[in-house]
Structure 1
Amino acid sequence: MSRRSRGALLPPVPASQPRRADVYLALRNAMLQGLLAPGERMPSSRKAAADYGVSRGLLEEVYSQLVEEGLLERILGRGTFIAGQVAGPTSTARVGKAPYPELSASTRGIKLAGNLACRVAQEFKPFNAGVADTAEFPWPIWQRIQTRAARDLKRADMNFTDPRGLPALRSSLAHHLAQLRGVRCTAEQVIIFNSIQQAMYLLALLLTNPGDATWMEDPAYPGARAALELAGSAIVPIPVDREGLQVEVGLQRAPNARLAYVTPSHQFPTGVALSMERRIALLDWAKKHDAWVLEDDYDGEFGYVGQPVTPLHSLDQHARVLYLGTLSKSMFVSLRLAFAVVPEAMVEQLANIRTQLDAFSAPLIQLAMSRFMDEGHFSTHVRRMRGVYAEKCAFLAEGLAPLANCGWTWEVNTVGVQLMLRHPDALEVQRTVKASGLALHSLNSYRHTPADDDGLLLRFGGLSIPAIRSGVERLVSAARASHR
């Protein structure tokens, strides 16, 4: 059994002037309940006596009794340890306590807890890996930069930091957005978040009252729907076709909506781009109705052919578009950095609201990310990953070719890390999913109202070529077997 050199924290004794029996029972129960784990080193009798406010002789008697009972072991020259054979309940046990009352959650709580749409699998396999390919990430460079950032952090950075984000990262992002996405903004318009969902939640809290209508693409990203519903928005589903969000339907259903959520450069999950005609119509609606457009540019950097689609924000002449992006898609999921570009006055308001929630993002990771950008590593990485994802997408599309004979259709993406398969028969899609045994998500699972046609979203970003090959072979076999 390994010995832990760190000293254990002693359990409290329920007495202002503890007696020998009080100390003995407190230690014994903590060992049997697993609060003091086998192998942990106990404080010396002198330190323990000082902690409990008793004599050292009393503690020596307690330690000796626990040694005799086999709960403690004393090793000459090393100290006193919890014995390895102590095997009590886990640390969550409530020995001697009444059982917990039955959980009586609220109606809202039960509904929220039952929504599993945003749960992500811990293991990536075909085809649930719409994440960055970490096998291609320049880890040595990132580790060196992070080490330097940790060395350069000031003592003040160990306390509460700016809820708007570190000035260095805000400046780096403004420069990056102008270069790679054509988004013109100042550092003062950028605010840092942990995720796009957090940004949308805070924006909805700031800009809407509970029950205000919000246009939502249908189908749509479940995380966006969840964030806006948590903020109290009344979701109005607006269908998406080959030209993106059908603005005319939004004008019919809720012309006075306060927000519209869109993914115009690469609609999630269908992959279509919002047409220029509808972009102009959407901006015109926002201006006339004093509404706001939330533009989620979740993977707009990863265009395979030519330049990525220009963000809606670049066409906005009246500051109605709030631009949202994430660095976790470009870097790695656990980075937990996202951002919004908004009017400068709104930055201060969002920061004030954020201080009522989680206050700020970790300064170390922000400083490292800023330097990764400023030193040119980020743009180099993005350009490299464009080629990597293009190769994977082409390989996937080539493997899907036999499905054309089974009624399946698809378009090879020019951007992003997922590909949408479509089929006119939703029942056949369900049979294919069941027969394949793969981690597949249907198009209908992203829709507000399921339709007769359906599809499969194949998310391949985090998969290797061999994994894609294996997944495609199983998918084609299952689709052929399900075709009637």
Structure 2
Amino acid sequence: MPRSSRGVLLPPVAGNRPRRADVYLALRDAVLQGTLAAGEHMPSSRKAATDYGVSRGLMEEVYSQLVEEGLLERVIGRGTFIAQRATKRTDPARHEEAVQHVSSVSTRGRKLAGNLACRIMREFKPFNAGVADTTAFPWQIWQRIQARAVRDLRRADMNFTDARGVPALRRSLAHHLAQLRGIRCVPDQVIIFNSIQQATYLLALLLTNPGDAAWVEDPGYPGARAALELAETTVVPVPVDQHGLQVEEGLRRASHARLACVTPSHQFPSGFTMSMQRRIALLEWAQKHDAWILEDDYDGEFGHARQPATPLHALDRHARVLYLGTLSKSMFVSLRLAFAVVPEAMVEQLANIRTQLDAFSAPLIQLAMSRFMDEGHFSTHVRHMRNVYAEKAAILTEGLRPLADHGWTWEEGTAGVQILLRHPDAHEVQRTAEASGLALHLLSSYRHEPADGDGLLLRFGGLGMPAIRAGVEQLVAAALAVHR
């Protein structure tokens, strides 16, 4: 049955005075290739003739031939439609040409395209769901706020928006950070991004020259490493232990580094909190060597059963720490809102670079987020989700207890939406568990350099309680089967 009551836009035809064959081939190819899809409503022959600058008689001939070939259908009183049986076909020659083009991409392009570490899984299952739980999200409140934001969106905001971010959201974030994270800043120090990874990339472009060294935690977040590599820095992996980044080892490997990317409040993926001694050593290194620290506080709001760890930024007395945070982790993944707190003079520079990439983040979602925060809904949601994630972590760790007798270790769930489970047999257990439907990532997949010991990263944030219980039962059964 026809699905559309409006005429589609017709494909172009080369030349100012197209011939009948030109028009026919353009329409035929568009139908066969799926550009004009089954059920779409074609414009009348009169309108089509006007679009192409040809006679109506010529268009009638073309339409009639396509009807005879089964590519178009005419419905009395309704018009002409793409036939339901018209199917998309592939031209073998064009397919072969496309394959050749793909094989001729650059070495750098193949390397970057082969990095799948930053892809978000489309299907969540135990334990690949390190995202926000949206089942308890106040959708009705959010929808009302969005509707109000649409009504209040100014005409100017529908054209271009400040690359630094909507002023209202920058004010809301400065207030939020002071209350929940103890970070003192003014709105002019806040700049909005789509993600922490984007912020890392732009900061690396601003602060480093190609080839400059940048410390990254090892193991660590693949997105930070990818962003630095895109910016053509020399990535220097620095080992992490239970006290955080080993600053002394970083000094030995590259004391002259321009950047250090760290997750001090809740190291990813180990879950450790950087010790005060290491924090002071890192700050002293940055001051002494005129270097910068990118503090990724990706899940700073979610400390379980306690206040979250104090950000490194709050200890900084020399403005060497650039604080990065995300709202997508607290709200929902597709929100695509993150931010950075930097020295005021740096904001304008970052905005100028931003305009050379994607210009700005969508103003409508920024306005809605600002109101969601100002009216207290965000803080209420964060408090509630702290309890939800703490309960999930408790269910998970309790289910893991039988593995303690077999040498498995883990940090009790102190924060965030993932737990790292350690054991030398992790790789074998992963293979066994995946056969039963689990999705597990090895600790070694987050390493830059090989190291002793391995583990399994259990990401549970987006899973429901029943899925966590069932998943941990399967995991324990798989592990015990390996140990027999």
TM tier, smaller? over 0.9
Aligned AA (1:80): T
SS at 2:452 equivalent: coil
1:431 and 2:411 equivalent? no
2:144 aligns with 144
1:246 and 2:246 equivalent? yes
Superposition pairs for residues 412-423 of structure 1, below 5 Å? Answer: 412-423=412-423
- 1:144 deviates by 0.9
Counterpart contact for 1:444–1:455, Cα < 8 Å:
yes
1:475 aligns with 475
**What is the rounded CA distance, in whole Å, between the counterparts of 2:96 and 2:335 in structure 1?**
42
Aligned AA (1:279): R
- 1:231 deviates by 0.7
**What is the rounded CA distance, in whole Å, between the counterparts of 2:310 and 2:13 in structure 1?**
65
**What is the rounded CA distance, in whole Å, between the counterparts of 1:381 and 1:110 in structure 2?**
42
Counterpart contact for 2:126–2:471, Cα < 8 Å:
yes
1:447 aligns with 447
**What is the rounded CA distance, in whole Å, between the counterparts of 2:143 and 2:111 in structure 1?**
42
Worse-matched range after superposition: 308-317 or 107-116: 107-116
**What is the rounded CA distance, in whole Å, between the counterparts of 2:273 and 2:107 in structure 1?**
38
- 1:304 deviates by 1.4
2:168 aligns with 168
Aligned AA (1:81): F
Worse-matched range after superposition: 32-41 or 265-274: 32-41
Counterpart contact for 2:397–2:413, Cα < 8 Å:
no
1:153 and 2:183 equivalent? no
Counterpart contact for 1:406–1:479, Cα < 8 Å:
no
Aligned AA (1:6): R
Q: Deviations over 1:194-250 (max 9, x none)?
A: 000000000001001111111111110011111111111111111111111111111
SS at 2:266 equivalent: coil
- 1:13 deviates by 2.2
SS at 2:6 equivalent: strand
Counterpart contact for 2:209–2:233, Cα < 8 Å:
yes
Q: TM-score, normalised by structure 1?
A: 0.96
Name the CA shift for 1:433/1:59 in 2 (closer, same or farther; >3 Å).
same
**What is the rounded CA distance, in whole Å, between the counterparts of 1:219 and 1:69 in structure 2?**
61
Aligned AA (1:50): T
2:104 aligns with 104
Q: Deviations over 1:39-95 (max 9, x none)?
A: 1111112211111112223222332333334332222221111222222416xx577
**What is the rounded CA distance, in whole Å, between the counterparts of 1:182 and 1:130 in structure 2?**
25
Name the CA shift for 1:97/1:276 in 2 (closer, same or farther; >3 Å).
closer
Superposition pairs for residues 268-347 of structure 1, below 5 Å? Answer: 268-347=268-347
1:235 aligns with 235
**What is the rounded CA distance, in whole Å, between the counterparts of 1:421 and 1:327 in structure 2?**
27
Superposition pairs for residues 40-439 of structure 1, below 5 Å? Answer: 40-89=40-89, 93=91, 99-100=97-98, 101-102=100-101, 103-423=103-423, 425=424, 428-437=425-434, 438-439=438-439
C-alpha RMSD of matched pairs (Å): 1.6
How many residue pairs align between the two structures?
479
Aligned AA (1:461): G
- 1:19 deviates by 2.8
Aligned AA (1:432): V
Query: Which runs of 5 or more residues in structure 2 are unaligned?
Result: none
1:463 aligns with 463
**What is the rounded CA distance, in whole Å, between the counterparts of 1:463 and 1:212 in structure 2?**
40
**What is the rounded CA distance, in whole Å, between the counterparts of 1:55 and 1:204 in structure 2?**
59
- 1:29 deviates by 3.0
**What is the rounded CA distance, in whole Å, between the counterparts of 1:443 and 1:58 in structure 2?**
67
**What is the rounded CA distance, in whole Å, between the counterparts of 2:238 and 2:290 in structure 1?**
19
SS at 1:228 equivalent: helix
Query: Which runs of 5 or more residues in structure 1 are unaligned?
Result: none
Worse-matched range after superposition: 390-399 or 2-11: 2-11
**What is the rounded CA distance, in whole Å, between the counterparts of 1:411 and 1:62 in structure 2?**
71
Worse-matched range after superposition: 445-454 or 460-469: 445-454
**What is the rounded CA distance, in whole Å, between the counterparts of 2:144 and 2:185 in structure 1?**
30
- 1:107 deviates by 1.5
Aligned AA (2:149): A
Name the CA shift for 1:395/1:355 in 2 (closer, same or farther; >3 Å).
same
Counterpart contact for 1:247–1:281, Cα < 8 Å:
yes
- 1:118 deviates by 1.4
**What is the rounded CA distance, in whole Å, between the counterparts of 1:457 and 1:97 in structure 2?**
40
Name the CA shift for 1:144/1:108 in 2 (closer, same or farther; >3 Å).
same
**What is the rounded CA distance, in whole Å, between the counterparts of 1:373 and 1:218 in structure 2?**
35
Counterpart contact for 1:33–1:95, Cα < 8 Å:
no
**What is the rounded CA distance, in whole Å, between the counterparts of 1:25 and 1:406 in structure 2?**
70
Name the CA shift for 1:111/1:97 in 2 (closer, same or farther; >3 Å).
closer
**What is the rounded CA distance, in whole Å, between the counterparts of 1:453 and 1:25 in structure 2?**
63
**What is the rounded CA distance, in whole Å, between the counterparts of 1:179 and 1:235 in structure 2?**
35
Q: Deviations over 1:321-357 (max 9, x none)?
A: 0000000000000100000000011000000011111
**What is the rounded CA distance, in whole Å, between the counterparts of 1:257 and 1:19 in structure 2?**
65
Aligned AA (1:250): G
Aligned AA (2:269): P
Q: Deviations over 1:11-35 (max 9, x none)?
A: 2222321233332333233223332
**What is the rounded CA distance, in whole Å, between the counterparts of 1:415 and 1:480 in structure 2?**
27
Aligned AA (1:173): L
**What is the rounded CA distance, in whole Å, between the counterparts of 1:71 and 1:234 in structure 2?**
56
Worse-matched range after superposition: 437-446 or 324-333: 437-446
Worse-matched range after superposition: 450-459 or 310-319: 450-459
- 1:98 deviates by 7.8
Q: TM-score, normalised by structure 2?
A: 0.96
Counterpart contact for 2:305–2:387, Cα < 8 Å:
no
**What is the rounded CA distance, in whole Å, between the counterparts of 1:95 and 1:231 in structure 2?**
37
Q: Deviations over 1:415-464 (max 9, x none)?
A: 111111112x2xx1111111111211111111122222111111111111
Counterpart contact for 2:2–2:81, Cα < 8 Å:
no
Aligned AA (1:120): I
